Amino acid sequence: MQIIRSTPDMRAIRQDWRQAGGKVVLVPTMGALHDGHLSLVARARDWLDEQGGGRVVTSIFVNPTQFGPNEDLDRYPRDEAGDLAKLRGAGCDAVFLPQVSDIYRPGAQTHVEVAGLGRILMGRLRPGHFRGVATVVTKLFNIAQPDAAAFGEKDYQQLTLIRRMVADLDIPVTILPVPTRREADGLAMSSRNQRLTPEDRAAAPVLARALDRGEALIADGAGVAQARRAIRDILRAEPRAEIRSIDIRDAEDLSRVTVPARPVVILLAVRFGDVLLIDQRVAHP
Ligand code: AMP
């Protein structure tokens, strides 16, 4: 597995790969890898197999511009040695580990903003977050020049926004969505789970239970208000859970819905102590 630590090296290696032939899939991450990230690598491999072969490159970059001033940038978990071992085991071909100074150079004035999708939902809770995401993903696409890139459905709004951005800017990268990988008790795998206290960890599967109920109600023909109330009641019954948002939106474009006529996505953001967990479920009426 190649370890690439700078933008010029990434560009040079991409050039070599182009000459050797085969496609390239990028898996953008912030490290502290778990099995959810590795399912992105597996999806990338499957896509390459369908395409006649190629290389998977995972990027590990804790992107400062997507963290707000009071967010957990400094406390974000980092484990380079562990990450490299996991990626080797998962059959990743290369890892791109740029420095912050390599990605954000002095004097930069340009950013990418998806005006609608970036400002709603989590974009309201975390102003500037999606601008940071869209900008760094564009930069990673320009540096690694992948044919495809894998993104988790766990970060559903992020996935929707990246698809919009790629369409709007004619970026020639195929977006591969990957279902959320979960612990045995239903908790969506997340690097942030490590920071939960044992009590909060025990309480956190309430998100998955609330999503199960919401999905079942929507499938039975419930309206958005009714499903939302039922989800809220389940979350409120868990005293350690502090609800930040419960939204049920159109699964395609995240527009508001009152009576679902086509698939919707249930989006939850719930705090446990100082850890914000998010989870989602697509529900079919
Ligand atoms: P992160 O390192 O948290 O920025 O996540 C990197 C990528 O992994 C994003 O596309 C996430 O949506 C995806 N991801 C994170 N957790 C999971 C999970 N439990 N299952 C599938 N994909 C995930």
146-164 tens-digit pLDDT: 999 999 999 999 999 999 9
Mean pLDDT of 128-151: 98
pLDDT of 71 reads 85
Structural contact between residues 121 and 254, judged by C-beta atoms closer than 8 angstroms: yes
Distance CA 237, CA 247 (A): 18
The answer to whether residue 70 scores a pLDDT higher than 90 is no
Distance CA 130, CA 112 (A): 9
Write down the pTM of the prediction.
0.97
Q: Which residue has the higher pLDDT, 77 or 14?
A: 14
Instruction: Say how many C-beta atoms besides its own lie within 10 A of residue 5's C-beta.
Output: 12
User: Is the CB of 191 inside a 6 Å radius of any atom of ligand 1?
Assistant: yes
pLDDT of 193 reads 95
Q: What is the position in ligand 1's atom list of the atom closest to the CA of 152?
A: 12
In the structure, how many helices (H) and strands (E) does the chain have?
Answer: 10, 9
The answer to whether residue 125 scores a pLDDT higher than 90 is no
Mean pLDDT of 74-99: 96
Residue nearest to atom 5 of ligand 1 (CA): 29
- Is residue 24 helix, strand or coil? strand
The answer to whether residue 31 scores a pLDDT higher than 90 is yes
Q: Which two tokens stand for residue 28?
A: 């953008």
Q: Which two tokens stand for residue 31?
A: 């490290």
Out of 34, 37, 129, 284, the active site residue is 37
The answer to whether residue 280 scores a pLDDT higher than 90 is yes
How many Å is the Cα radius of gyration of the chain? 19
Structural contact between residues 73 and 128, judged by C-beta atoms closer than 8 angstroms: no
Q: How many angstroms does the Cα of residue 276 sit away from the middle of ligand 1?
A: 15
Band of pLDDT at residue 72, cut at 50, 70 and 90: confident
Distance CA 277, CA 172 (A): 32
Half-sphere exposure of 281 (CA within 13 A, CB side): 25
The yes-or-no answer on residue 111 being catalytic is: no
User: Is the CB of 149 inside a 6 Å radius of any atom of ligand 1?
Assistant: no
pLDDT of 151 reads 98
Q: Which residues of 117-152 are buried (b: 16+ CB within 10 A; e: fewer)?
A: bbebbbbeebebbbbbbbbbbbbbbebbbbbbbbbb
Distance CA 283, CA 262 (A): 9
Long-range Cβ contact pairs of 48-55 (< 8 A, separation 24 or more): 48/22, 48/23, 51/23, 51/147, 52/22, 52/23, 53/22, 53/23, 54/17, 54/22, 54/23, 54/24, 54/25, 54/147, 55/17, 55/22, 55/23, 55/24, 55/25, 55/93, 55/94
Phi first, then psi: give them for residue 188, nearest 5 degrees: -65, 130
Band of pLDDT at residue 50, cut at 50, 70 and 90: very high
Q: How many angstroms does the Cα of residue 189 sit away from the middle of ligand 1?
A: 8
The answer to whether residue 212 scores a pLDDT higher than 90 is yes
158 CB-near residues (< 8 Å, 6+ apart): 130, 133, 151
User: Is the CB of 39 inside a 6 Å radius of any atom of ligand 1?
Assistant: yes
19-23, 52-56, 68-72, 97-101, range with the lowest pLDDT: 68-72
Residue nearest to atom 14 of ligand 1 (CA): 152
pLDDT of 103 reads 97
User: Is the CB of 36 inside a 6 Å radius of any atom of ligand 1?
Assistant: yes
Residue nearest to atom 17 of ligand 1 (CA): 36
Domains of the chain: 2-178 (3.40.50.620), 191-283 (3.30.1300.10)
Burial of 284 (0-12, 13-18, 19+ CB in 10 A): exposed
Q: How many angstroms does the Cα of residue 210 sit away from the middle of ligand 1?
A: 21
Distance CA 4, CA 17 (A): 14
User: Best substitution site from 155, 175, 181, 185 to test ligand 1's pocket, by max atoms within 8 Å of Cβ?
Assistant: 155
Band of pLDDT at residue 75, cut at 50, 70 and 90: confident
**With pLDDT > 90 as the criterion, what percentage of the chain qualifies?**
97
| Mean pLDDT taken over the chain | 97
Q: How many angstroms does the Cα of residue 86 sit away from the middle of ligand 1?
A: 15
User: Is the CB of 178 inside a 6 Å radius of any atom of ligand 1?
Assistant: yes
